[in-house]
Structure 1
Amino acid sequence: MNTVATAGIGARPGVNLALATWVSAINFWAWNMIGPLSTTYAGEMSLSSSEASMLVATPILVGSLGRIAVGSLTDRYGGRIMFIAISLASILPVLAVGFAGNAGSYPMLLVFGFFLGIAGTIFAVGIPFANNWYDASRRGFATGVFGAGMVGTALSAFFTPRFVNWFGLIVTHVIVAIALALTALVCVVAMRNAPAFVPNTDPVVPKFLAACKLRVTWEMSFLYAIVFGGFVAFSNYLPTYIKTIYDFSAVDAGTRTAGFALAAVVARPIGGALSDRIPPKYVVLAAFAGTAVTALVATQKPPPDVWSAADFITMAIFLGIGTGGVFAWVARRTPAKSVGSVTGIVAAAGGLGGYFPPLVMGATYDPVDNDYTVGLLLLVACAVVALLYTAFALKTHEPVNAAATQAMQPRQEENK
């Protein structure tokens, strides 16, 4: 019987996957504490469109680049320790952002928003953690379920503005900080690394350089920068977009943004599961095609609420399916000992893909016609380029990675 199957009997992979998804959701909520309140901050501090965009984008930058180091550290220390460490390290930045916002200080918000990015590095922990708990035939499902922790952005978009109205700004941030602390405590008590986990004690820099030499790293980084970057960008910037274009309140804009994020979250495990059954290439192709079409429709400013909601929800579904498909592809193609490092780089690329669009949207906003046509057309162009690259440059069928091969060999011997 193979190692992963044995782990499933005695160590409850489903429980650990559920815990990992919960940890991701709470940290994603923390990471997205500024986005739902950005329109409020902009009004109170008289911020320009570019200044408000910088406020939203700063945590994304740190949460992206930090994933490179966190992925390598996960290879060495395992997911359990890293989940605990990141949850605890995110508490102080969450509180500091609350106090900076209450003080009405734009510079302090930028500085503390920088450190808030720590919470966003959580994604680089969960993919190798989930991979170790499941055999090759179910890794698309496992990474898709963990990726559903993106629901934290929906929770933040929906609840953060409401909590501020009900309890005040400081108390809202205290609530999230307490949730992070309790999450870390649950991990200490209940979470375990998979028996299949073997610490990689190789020095981090050579390991990182080795991951950089793999073709899969850069191919998947490019694709993930579009699909996950699009999700992150809209999850953070959509409150500003909706308020600007349709003149909704911060609470109403947050509700609609939560719907967008929730649709992507639900779609992500579907993309992963589909990639267990058909080549991930086809899943990713469909995602890019759908993203390009829906972004093009958005340039026409469909009227609220039915038509605009339908367009952005459909876009979210395609982006979610794409994120699940890309990481299922990563899990298939990456050597076992490099999963954490490659995951960190790919996840960083996805986060960076979400860093620039808010800045571009703010810089290209046309106040005369009140539209974001240029920014949306750039998304269309990126999706089309990624579609063509996937169609013509990437293979449909490739050998399953070394991790999958090793996991399957004992089972094949047993079946003999």
Structure 2
Amino acid sequence: MSGSNTAGGARTALEQGERSRATMMLVLATVGFGVNFWAWSLISPLGGDYGERLDLTGFQQSALVATPVLVGSLGRIPIGALTDRFGAKFMFPLVSVLTIIPVLFIAFVADSFPMMLLGGFFLGLGGTSFAIGVPFVSSWYRVSKRGAALGIFGMGTAGTAISAFTTVPLADSFGRQAPFVLVSVILAVYAVVSYLMLRESPDRPRPAGSFVANTAATMKLGVTWQLAALYALGFGGFVAFSVYLPTYLVNAYGLTGTDASFRTAVFVILAVVARPIGGALSDRIGAIKVLLVSFAATGVFSAIDAIGLPLVPIPTAAFLGMAATLGAASGATFALVGQVAPPNKVGSVTGVVGAAGGLGGFVPPLVMGATYDALGSYTVGYVLLALVAFGMAAFTWGPVRKAALRRAETAAAAPVDPAEPTTGGNTS
């Protein structure tokens, strides 16, 4: 009896230790994601300032704030595949250190529109950190807990809010270079800490075959493209608003740059908070339901903003509603990734899906800028967003729901392999 109690106590202590380790890894990954996202978002709050100083058109200003989004999106494909192969312990410090270079380039070298585009191009590297953290966190958590865990990791998008809150005040108080220098120092500190403290899950699946073969195999998966479409609207919508909302509020409502940045930060914070809620709800009631409601509501809120009413109160409420629904949709999408993606391809699938999300954020600012230059109004842009949101709700209920059901039926019929790491490692 005593021996049984001793063994049970040892197992309990071991499980508690594994849960604590998984929690620590989740915190470290979330911080790394947040810091790199902070760097990724540095240009956006100063978009109006750059527009005046460099005498940019509306389209050029949109291109300037959207360029890091494009590169940070496409870069997630190779970074996700490299994470599958080399692990987050190697990739997080590497990406953090490399991101310092464009941050300092923009601060001290870039003095023209082409130079800013060049700096923004390489600044996009910070946005690829998302594709490092998702497979890392997934490997530490069981399938039943991944939605919530990935939702918490997704709160690293708060780096965008930090940028919105701090960049303009720091630049006004200490000079335009100040926020860039601060972020460079924080990136360097995180690179050292992550190198020393990150640990890979013992159940982390290793892909077989070459980088090219694994990427090609990922591209052939139907689930990859379905998830990519969902994330293009969910996260893409969030990114589009987080980078373009300051410019929109200045142009459409005549707000100051500081006021517009603070309002954008509120939007970002609400979306960040909604993301883990979407993930947790997906664990409880299913990701499909969360996505369906989120996209339908986004369409309604977009239609309201298309009317062009005074900013307070109705459009403001609609913007905040969109922040919540887009955040929840982002969390639900990656809850679905953790459930339906092959375990040894989570990083690769994440890279493609994350790229689609970023591309979804790259296009709308350009559309908004072009329509504003041509028509002096943003109405067309919001009408298009509403149509896309309603279409995505229908897509979710149709092909995506059917594919998820087929995947669940296949998994239920398959024999259980105790060595299979689909439960994601060590925590329950």
TM-score range, shorter chain: over 0.9
Cα drift, residue 360 of structure 1: 0.6
The counterpart of 2:206, out of the listed 199, 208, 218, is 199
Matched, 1:387 2:393: yes
**What's the TM-score, normalizing by structure 1?**
0.93
Partner of 2:43: 34
1:375 to 373, 381, 395: 381
Q: What's the counterpart of residue 5 of structure 2? A: none
Residue aligning to 1:147: 154
Q: Call closer, same or farther: CA 1:408–1:325 in 2, change over 3 Å.
A: farther
Q: Work out the CA distance in 1 between the residues paired with 2:131 and 2:297.
A: 26
CA distance change for structure 1 residues 48 and 137 in 2, over 3 Å: closer, same or farther? same
Helix, strand or coil at the partner of 2:295: helix
Note closer, same or farther for the CA distance 1:407–1:161 as it changes in structure 2 (3 Å cut).
farther
1:7 CA displacement: 7.1
User: How many Å apart are 1:171 and its aligned residue?
Assistant: 2.0
Matched position secondary structure for 1:64: helix
Q: Per-residue displacement from partner, 1:216-243 (whole Å, max 9, x unpaired)? A: 0011111111111101111000000011
The correspondence for 2:90, drawn from 81, 87, 96, is 81
Q: Distance in 1 between matches of 2:179 and 2:373?
A: 34
Residue 373 of structure 1 aligns to which amino acid in structure 2?
T
**2:101 — aligned with what?**
92
Match of 2:60 among 51, 56, 61: 51
1-structure distance, mates of 2:417, 2:22: 19
Over aligned residues, Cα RMSD in angstroms?
2.3
Contact 2:166–2:179 (Cα < 8 Å) also in 1 = no
Separation (CA, whole Å) in 1 of partners of 2:394 and 2:144: 28
CA positional deviation for 1:8? 6.0
- Give 1:336 shift: 0.7
Which residue of 1 is the match for residue 405 of structure 2?
397
Q: What's the TM-score once normalised by structure 2's chain length?
A: 0.90
| Map 1:13-412 → 2, pairs under 5 A | 13-100=22-109, 103=111, 105-365=112-372, 370-394=376-400, 395=402, 397-400=405-408
Go from structure 1 to structure 2 and tell me whether the alpha carbon gap of 1:294 and 1:100 turns closer, same or farther (over 3 Å shift). farther
Structure 1 residues 406 and 183: CA distance shift in structure 2, 3 A: farther
The 1-side partners of 2:14 and 2:381 are apart by: 50
* CA pair 7-201 structure 1, distance change in 2 beyond 3 A: farther
Separation (CA, whole Å) in 1 of partners of 2:315 and 2:16: 44
Q: Which residue of 2 aligns with 1:414?
A: none
Match of 2:3 in 1: none
**C-alpha deviations, 1:336-361, integer Å up to 9, x for none?**
11111111101111111111111111
Q: Matched residues in 1 for 2:397 and 2:315: separation?
A: 30
Give the Cα–Cα distance (whole angstroms) in 1 for the partners of residues 102 and 29 of structure 2.
Answer: 21
Cα distance between partner residues in 2 of 1:24 and 1:267: 17
Displacement of 1:205 in angstroms is 0.6
* Residue aligned with 1:193, SS: coil
Structure 2 unaligned residues grouped into runs of 5+: 1-7, 424-428
Task: Describe the shift of the 1:85–1:214 C-alpha distance in structure 2 as closer, same or farther (beyond 3 A).
Answer: same
Partners of 1:45 and 1:147 in 2: CA distance:
34
Specify the code of the residue in structure 1 equivalent to 2:215.
F
Contact (CA 8 Å) 1:366, 1:372: kept in 2 or not?
Answer: no
Give, in angstroms, the shift of residue 310 of structure 1.
1.6
> Does the Cα contact within 8 Å between 1:7 and 1:196 map onto a contact in 2?
no
TM-superposition CA deviations, 1:165-187 (whole Å, max 9, x none): 11111122110100101111111
Structure 1 or 2, whichever has the larger Rg, is 2
**Aligned pairs, number:** 406
Amino acid at match of 1:86: V
Query: What amino acid is aligned across from residue 391 of structure 1 in structure 2?
Result: W
CA distance, structure 2, for counterparts of residue 306 and residue 249 of structure 1: 18
Q: How big is the shift at 1:305?
A: 3.7
**CA 406–371 in structure 1, closer or farther in 2 if over 3 Å, else same:** farther
What secondary structure, in the 3-state scheme, does the structure 2 residue paired with 1:146 have? Answer: helix
Q: CA separation of 1:82/1:250 partners in 2, compared to 1, >3 Å: closer, same or farther?
A: same
Structure 2 distance, partners of 1:177, 1:263, is 26
